[in-house]
Amino acid sequence: MQAATTSPTTRPGQPSLSVVVPAYNEAEVIHEFQRRLSLVMAGIGLPWEVVYVDDGSSDGTAELLAAMQASHPQIAVVALSRNFGKEAALTAGLDHACGSDAVIVIDADLQDPPEVIPDLVAAWREGGIDVAYAQRRSRAGETWLKKATASAFYRLMQRLGGPVRLPPDTGDFRLMSRRAVDALLQLRERHRFMKGLFAWVGFPSRAVLYDRAPRAAGTTKWNYRRLWALSLEGITSFTTLPLKVATWLGLATATGALVYGGWVVAKALLYGDPVPGYPSLMTVVLLLGGVQLITLGVIGEYLGRIFNETKGRPLYVVGRHLPSSPYRSLPAE
Ligand code: UDP
Ligand code: MG
């Protein structure tokens, strides 16, 4: 069995805690983030490192991080070869995190306040849990439309997800014990709906409430198109219910068509067919055509994902890796 998650088992030179931070065009906030993070981490009193993943930024974030790494021994930088998206960046960071006891995942834009980290660590050190996730008490600075769509999505996933439960109002901001991270890293699928993967891994977990701040600077990389894609990702990677719905829809329309067809034939036999019946014909053809196209689209969504998975490509490509201090003497990977 692994060592108990609550008693840090730090080996010399190895940090106990890793903080993983995906950063894409965050040059404006990264200094402030690092300042607040190191203040908070110093107060915890465990050896720590922070792994910044530069996700192919175009605003000089990578150069800033490399410069910061030169003067801060706790900083590690993983620079990806291009923009791979937050989910891949997060995975890269988790892959490169050396923390032997726990890993904390946090956004760079200060929407997840680093000041909550001690609460997450405290919850984990109390024992009995592997995951402490930060749950938003409020969503300051977000439009009602964003709030409404987010809440509708969580409700939908709650119904579709089966045994995998997504806690509502929870992002990626969380602390995971080493064994939870190792379990998570075994899931190498390309379509990474992180919230779902976190939930799939299981382990006892606890919510820590906090107030989500508006972005400190810069702009969100999410628009409704990307959020729609993310929701589709969430649904299709975690449930095959839409395929079942498609089957039932097909069965229902087929039954309806059969009954209606029988009635039309019977009517023609009994009373003859004085009118050519163009409107009803058209209605049925269009309805069936529509249902068929929707069903094909649903199958296509799944087929496309199967296609992407079968290619078996790596999730990200590392351009440059600058490890945190104790490892600087070792050859870079
Ligand atoms: N991010 C990333 N790659 C991307 C988009 C975003 O690494 O392609 C990072 C970003 O730098 C931030 C975090 O993911 O640290 C969350 O992004 P954002 O603030 O845009 O999302 P939101 O907070 O609106 O959900
Ligand atoms: Mg943000």
Residue spans of the domains in the chain: they are: 17-221+314-322, 241-311
**What integer pLDDT is reported at residue 112 of this predicted model?**
84
CA 89 – CA 192 distance, rounded (Å): 11
Residue 167 Cα to ligand 2 middle (Å): 19
Strand pairing of 48-54 and 318-322? unpaired
CA distances 161 to 155, 158, 194, 223, 237, Å, are 10, 6, 14, 24, 10
Residue 111 Cα to ligand 2 middle (Å): 6
CATH architecture of the region 17-221+314-322 = Alpha-Beta Complex (3.90)
Is 89 touching ligand 1 by the criterion CB < 6 Å? yes
Task: Measure CA of the first residue to CA of the last residue in the chain; give whole Å.
Answer: 29
CA 102 – CA 15 distance, rounded (Å): 9
Strand pairing of 48-54 and 17-23? parallel
Is 106 touching ligand 1 by the criterion CB < 6 Å? no
**What integer pLDDT is reported at residue 219 of this predicted model?**
65
Three-class DSSP category at 2: coil
65, 109, 143, 194: which to mutate for ligand 1, most atoms within 8 A of CB? 109
Is 87 touching ligand 1 by the criterion CB < 6 Å? no
CA 316 – CA 84 distance, rounded (Å): 6
Residues in a beta bridge with 138: 211
**Which residues in the chain show pLDDT less than 50?**
1-8, 10, 327-333
Q: Check residue 141 and report its DSSP letter.
A: T
Is 55 touching ligand 1 by the criterion CB < 6 Å? yes
Three-class DSSP category at 235: helix
Among residues 103, 88, 113, which one has the least CA distance to residue 20?
A: 103
Task: List the beta strands (DSSP E) in 24-178.
Answer: 48-54, 75-80, 102-105, 131-139, 170-177
**What integer pLDDT is reported at residue 326 of this predicted model?**
61
**What integer pLDDT is reported at residue 6 of this predicted model?**
45
**What integer pLDDT is reported at residue 223 of this predicted model?**
73
Taking CA atoms only, the protein residue closest to ligand 1 atom 13 is 107
